[in-house]
Amino acid sequence: MKTLNVGIMGLGTVGGGTYTVLTRNAAEITRRTGVQINVIQVADRNIDHAKTMTGGSVAVTGDALEVVNNPKVDVVVELIGGYTLSRELVLKAIANKKHVVTANKALIALHGNEIFAAAKANNVIVAFEAAVAGGIPIIKALREGLGANRIEWVAGIINGTTNFILTEMREKGLTYQDVIGEAQRLGYAEADPTFDVEGIDAAHKLTIMSAIAFGMPMKFEQAYTEGITKLQQVDIKYAEELGYRVKLLGITKCTNKGVELRVHPTLISEKRLVANVNGAMNAVVVKGDAVGPTLYYGAGAGAEPTASAVVADLMDVARLIDATSAQRVPYLAFQPEQVHDLAILPIDEIQSAYYLRLRASDKPGVLANVTKILGDLSISIDAMLQKEPDDNETEADIVILTHITLEKNMNAAISAIEALPEITGKLVRIRMEELGK
């Protein structure tokens, strides 16, 4: 029987899960592929841990370069993370004519263009399904399952940490500061949660999906990123009163003016399935011109959910190892010569509906002044919620939902409204998406 020899770099959460799934489901994998996939070497800085996990059945090293240079290894699985050492190791593996499987979204988002070019030149495969949304096969869906469609937009909850935090804030009435400590205690958030809560992790994943959806190079450096750290409990409560949920979404759209590539808190109608994705789960909605909106839901992280995607990539390599690059599905779904350098729209040029919350003096004429400013900038109001002031207070919250408008017009309106003498402090602005058209 044909065999495929694998070397794993990094035997942490995902690496350990990958080794477990490969060994536990070995017979099933062979039945599906006709190939026996063998792990013959692992690299991890904690050699004792690696030896314990593998039970002495494979070679263990503390130097990942040994795996990359091992002539018996056919496929290198990169699970060490980061994007400096991992980039060097992956490029070295490719130069050594080894296929690569990775779960490293930062590596692909920042260096994917370089890596794919090197892989094509060396006629090897680079597979990265596990880099986006853990066990959800969204890369395969975009590259293959929806290949007959012109993709119009992709939007998703693609960071489990932030989704857990927002779920706890909504369901328990807690503040961000209340929840972040609990998220860290439960292992949903790192000791330094910046990459998650500021939207950087989601932007890495969105960059990859956008490139595949629209056939363009990775453009992470041009992604607009806004996190959840400034979200207030009161806005989550008001949104729910109006029939909406707040989610951190990654959104990419192909428009006549360019590609939108943005991550930010977003109001979604509670009637949408994606609005009801709670806890640490992920969900991605893809709109194709032929199929319409499609939803992909599941665990976006964790040892075995992510390992599921890593092993599926290994199975694809096993099936396609003898094919030429022309016979394989292109990395970015489009033939290399058809990958176009599409322009990314600045955030000022995107179109969205908006949730606005302002603190205003409780006296006649205030609303008239606000609506006049919005009207002068062609911003129409969809709904409004005016709260009664508390006892002994002279100010109250006003919440406005607008129809779709240009972001730069909304910026101008916010500046003008904040300048009104009856308005206290800064306005809160959260973008809104329909996600059903």
pLDDT per residue as tens digits for the range 405-420: 999 999 999 999 999 9
Q: What is the average pLDDT across 368-379?
A: 96
Q: What is the average pLDDT across 378-404?
A: 89
In a domain, 343, yes or no: no
227: nearest Cα among 295, 180, 285, 274: 180
Please report, for residues 277, 282, 293, 401, 436, the alpha-carbon distance to residue 273 in angstroms, rounded to integers and kept in the order given: 7, 12, 11, 21, 10
Length of the chain: 437
- DSSP conformation letters of 247-287: EEEEEEEE-SS-EEEEEEEEEEETTSGGGG--TTEEEEEEE
Q: How far apart are CA 217 and CA 80, in angstroms?
A: 24
pLDDT per residue as tens digits for the range 43-66: 999 999 999 999 988 999 999 999
Structural domain count of the chain: 3
Q: How far apart are CA 272 and CA 257, in angstroms?
A: 28
235-239-244-248 Cα dihedral, nearest 10 degrees? -10
Q: How far apart are CA 320 and CA 328, in angstroms?
A: 7
315: nearest Cα among 30, 108, 106: 30
Alpha carbon 230 to its chain's center: 20
Would you say 417 and 423 are in contact if contact means Cβ atoms under 8 Å apart? yes
Both 28 and 124 in one domain: the answer is yes
350: nearest Cα among 262, 237, 428: 262
Both 65 and 185 in one domain: the answer is no
Q: What is the average pLDDT across 262-288?
A: 97
Both 284 and 309 in one domain: the answer is no
Q: What is the average pLDDT across 353-377?
A: 93
3-class secondary structure for 361-411? Answer: ECCCCHHHHHHHHHHHCCCCEEEEEECCCCCCCCEEEEEEEECCEEHHHHH
Both 121 and 196 in one domain: the answer is no
Please identify which of the residues 98, 105, 205, 247 carries the catalytic annotation: 205
Residues of the domain holding 103: 2-135+303-338
Active site residue 230: no
In a domain, 437, yes or no: no
CATH number, domain of 260, equals 3.30.360.10
Q: Which of 316, 338, 360 is the last residue of a domain?
A: 338
Both 202 and 287 in one domain: the answer is yes
Both 111 and 211 in one domain: the answer is no
Both 370 and 229 in one domain: the answer is no
In a domain, 249, yes or no: yes
Both 200 and 169 in one domain: the answer is yes
pLDDT per residue as tens digits for the range 204-225: 999 999 999 999 999 999 999 9
Taking every pair of Cα atoms in the chain, the longest distance, rounded to a whole number of angstroms, is 83
Mean of per-residue pLDDT scores for the chain: 95
Please report, for residues 138, 145, 357, 364, 377, the alpha-carbon distance to residue 383 in angstroms, rounded to integers and kept in the order given: 35, 39, 12, 19, 17
Both 178 and 65 in one domain: the answer is no
Q: What is the average pLDDT across 99-122?
A: 97
Please report, for residues 275, 295, 332, 348, the alpha-carbon distance to residue 283 in angstroms, rounded to integers and kept in the order given: 9, 7, 21, 27
Both 291 and 156 in one domain: the answer is yes
DSSP 309: H
Share of the chain above pLDDT 90, in %: 91
Listed in sequence order, the DSSP H helices in 215-257 are 233-241
Share of the chain above pLDDT 70, in %: 100
Both 324 and 189 in one domain: the answer is no
In a domain, 27, yes or no: yes
Q: How far apart are CA 359 and CA 394, in angstroms?
A: 10
138: nearest Cα among 354, 336, 299, 327: 299
Both 287 and 312 in one domain: the answer is no
Q: Which helix (H) or strand (E) holds 412?
A: helix 407-418
Residue 145: partners with Cβ closer than 8 Å, 6 or more residues away: none
Structure confidence at residue 324 (pLDDT): 83
Task: Examine the pLDDT at 393 and tell me if it is beyond 90.
Answer: no
Q: What is the average pLDDT across 319-326?
A: 87
- Comparison of pLDDT for 25 and 187, the residue scoring more: 25
Whether the full predicted model's pTM is greater than 0.85, yes or no, is yes
Collapsed DSSP state (helix, strand, coil) of residue 166 = helix
Structure confidence at residue 437 (pLDDT): 66
